[in-house]
Amino acid sequence: MDTVQEFKTKSQKAVDFLKEDLKSIRTGRASPSLIENLSVDAYNGTTHLRLLEMATIMTEGPSALSIAPFDPSTIQDIEKAILKSPLGMSPITQGTRIIIKIPPLSEEQREKFIKLAGSKVEEKKVQIRAARDDARRDLKDKFEKKEITEDEKFRIEKEIDAASSKYMEEIETVQSKKEVEIREV
């Protein structure tokens, strides 16, 4: 039975990772999740932290984010990280906080982000299929070693296929929701 549980664990991790990963793809609205996982080289490059670990990130209306660093001496480091990021945002420093204006997405950008989300989704689908194939190979080995009966093998295969379908549906749902968010003006 550990084969099924191992498959479910791997698949759930893939789905959870996908949900987190898709948060970093821009939508038409400002959201702290866009930048919270940005990697920042702080203190002259001696420390690598995620922005979330260095500052409070808040929305300021539908099209701006405000970043308040816990340590004001890291403002330049955070600015550099934002400028280097692929998000194409320009930070504006106001005293001890940074403001990022989120420009509205063009139709071209929306399509690009939808394709990016699609490729991330496909990556996770491949991962789940690979985990399913590993689980099936494991079952086949157990059957050949006479550790399980043929009936058990078929029953467990059915269980793995059902779980696989469930995870694929969940991924499709996550993708659909993200596409709706991206298309939203």
pTM for this structure? 0.72
Residues 42-84: pLDDT tens digits? 888 788 888 889 999 998 877 888 999 999 888 888 888 888 8
Provide the CATH number for the domain around residue 155. 1.10.132.20
Query: In the chain, how many domains are there?
Result: 2
| Angle between helix 107-144 and 2-23 (nearest 10) | 170
Provide the CATH number for the domain around residue 74. 3.30.1360.40
Same domain, 95 and 148: no
- Angle made by CA atoms 123, 127, 132, in degrees to the nearest 5: 145
The residue out of 53, 71, 101 marking a domain boundary is 101
Half-sphere exposure of 18 (CA within 13 A, CB side): 30
pLDDT exceeds cutoff 60 at 1: no
Cα separation of 117 and 176, whole Å? 10
Same domain, 127 and 147: yes
Residues 77-103: pLDDT tens digits? 888 888 888 777 888 898 889 998 887
Residues 140-177: pLDDT tens digits? 999 999 999 989 999 999 999 999 999 999 999 999 99
Half-sphere exposure of 61 (CA within 13 A, CB side): 7
The residue out of 54, 73, 101 marking a domain boundary is 101
Same domain, 83 and 139: no
Query: pLDDT-derived band of residue 139, with 50, 70 and 90 as boundaries?
Result: very high
pLDDT at 63: 81
Residue type for 76, please?
Q
Same domain, 19 and 40: no
Task: Find the domain containing 93 and state its range.
Answer: 32-101
Query: pLDDT-derived band of residue 185, with 50, 70 and 90 as boundaries?
Result: low
Same domain, 110 and 177: yes
The residue out of 77, 101, 125 marking a domain boundary is 101
Same domain, 61 and 128: no
pLDDT at 161: 94
Arithmetic mean of pLDDT, 19-29: 79
pLDDT at 87: 73
